[in-house]
Chain A
């Protein structure tokens, strides 16, 4: 494979839905092993950006390069098999089967049965859901389902982890565990986290990208972002709009 320093690069990435430009000429760069937080008001295009990265949506224009490999327009499973794992905003899990089987189906992708079993059990343990192993996922709370999906992502041992609002619906305790897990995972993989929960963001964030109206609005360290008047305004503006609507 060609030499690369940035695990992920997008150039001019654009996604249009009819007249709506959800992602607008995004040049995004992520170094290997980096942990990045992606912020932005509702509708900023964060989830759509993730979908373009994973082939769930085919971008209207632009390119996505992973480990030096241009994979624009590839099928989702081929992209994922290069080493990308995603926790989607609305959990995508296998409702009708057990928590253990959900995670095992992930670890089994790359491992023989025995190792897959071991890895699945280890990952359940890491995510603190071993006690739920036999439960059917469809009956769990939103926060628990988030953890199951996270375990599925981790069990695939991806080189790039995308997490879309992983803390939503979690109790304080679950959220703290999640923060630890994210930091721990970031030691062996590059991670992008989308989140609105500021308590959570403060626990994990270093370098931050802020999206607004589909485009990159700011990129800076978290403290600088938090102090940025214009960033506050786009968040508040959206909230004011929402309140008046």
Chain B
């Protein structure tokens, strides 16, 4: 993580893979599969939001769905009222980001311990879920948008080209735009993590006491990291809302938060590729195993998680990375006769 991003070949490989998927998949796959994959893309953005704050800020949130749902509802309400989707998309980032900052202020400046952080984020998610469920009556409307309680909000506008509300994206275009979002989020996070700000975050993750003893304001730093993660989760929520054209309180569910944790854990905490791979692999597995109708998909997810934690405690990507690095050093050591340590 210490060398410059721009000199890391892995970074370019990842971006290239992303761009290739964005351009080639629509050509080789049918529309139905593309729509399936679009789901993975949205969830990958969501997973990245948690992968960033947990892996690079040491903030373990059990309520990432609070921001996902908030982004989804923000987008839905704004899009229905405004009749286009560009400003709603910005709001779906900004409002969860601000809410995350406010919640973060309470958590970090109140010096709540890590355990309480988990509890508070979880409780906030539950509160949102309860609240959203209680808005069934017609009196619960924001402008033209009825919140709909447990029935959710239907007919959410499909994304349109900025400035042209009539130019709605077809499923393939939506896939490509979402891939674009995923790539941009990945690039921005990589640059952020490699910046001085990001290095301080990593220091805070490693040892908060030392970070503050060097003169860094740990509270402010964590607040910023948390707020950025909240904004990205909100963006993912908006993508979810426009993709489904529908949103209900389950966006705020504990299941949503738990899944994000499992994806990040499975893929590897402390990487960005990990959470993305976690989403693809686990969503695909649950889909496959779920269609066999042998088991409840949540039970399957739980079982997969247990196996992963036991077999690959560090997650998929760090384990692979270590294998490759070890193999490489071993090969070099053989060639140079044992001087590969430097």
A residues neighboring B (CB under 8 Å):
54, 56, 75-77, 80-81, 85-86, 88, 92-98, 100-101, 105-106, 108-109, 113, 152, 156
Contacts and interface: CB of A to CB of B under 8 A. Distances in A.
B226 to A, nearest CB: 18
Contacts of A96: 202, 205-206
Contacts of B137: none
Given A101-B2, A113-B196, A94 B202 contact: yes
Nearest to A110: B215
B293 to A, nearest CB: 44
Given A77-B216, A77-B218, A101-B2, A152 B203 contact: no
Contact of A97 (B206, B216, B218): B206
Contact of A105 (B203, B212, B217, B218): B203
B287 to A, nearest CB: 35
B209 interface: yes
Interface in B199-252: 199-200, 202-203, 205-207, 209-218
B15 to A, nearest CB: 25
A92 B215 contact: no
A94 B213 CA distance: 12
Given A94-B203, A106-B214, A109-B215, 20 more contacts: A56-B213, A75-B212, A76-B212, A77-B215, A77-B218, A80-B213, A80-B215, A86-B213, A88-B213, A92-B209, A94-B207, A95-B206, A96-B202, A96-B205, A98-B2, A101-B199, A105-B203, A113-B196, A152-B210, A152-B214
B196 A80 contact: no
20 contacts: A56-B213, A75-B217, A76-B212, A77-B216, A77-B218, A80-B213, A80-B214, A85-B213, A94-B210, A95-B206, A97-B2, A97-B203, A97-B206, A98-B2, A105-B199, A105-B211, A105-B214, A109-B216, A113-B196, A156-B214
Contacts of B214: 80, 105-106, 109, 152, 156
Contacts of B215: 77, 80-81, 109, 156
Interface in B252-293: none
Interface residues of B, number: 20
Nearest to B199: A105
B202 A97 contact: yes
Q: Name the residue in B196, B202, B210, B216 with the highest tally of chain A Cβ atoms < 10 Å from its Cβ.
A: B210
A41 B2 CA distance: 42
Q: Name the residue in B206, B207, B214, B217 with the highest tally of chain A Cβ atoms < 10 Å from its Cβ.
A: B214
B200 A54 contact: no
A81 B337 CA distance: 48
A214 to B, nearest CB: 23
B25 to A, nearest CB: 36
B232 to A, nearest CB: 23
Question: Which 5 pairs from chain A and chain B are nearest by CB?
Answer: A94-B206, A92-B210, A80-B215, A76-B212, A81-B215
A93 B213 contact: no
A1 to B, nearest CB: 18
Interface string B59-91: 000000000000000000000000000000000
A200 B180 CA distance: 61
Contacts of B218: 77
Contacts of A95: 206-207
A11 B20 CA distance: 68
Contact of B217 (A54, A56, A77): A77
Nearest to B204: A94
Contacts of A100: 2
A53 to B, nearest CB: 12
A67 B209 CA distance: 24
B203 A80 contact: no
A105 B2 CA distance: 12
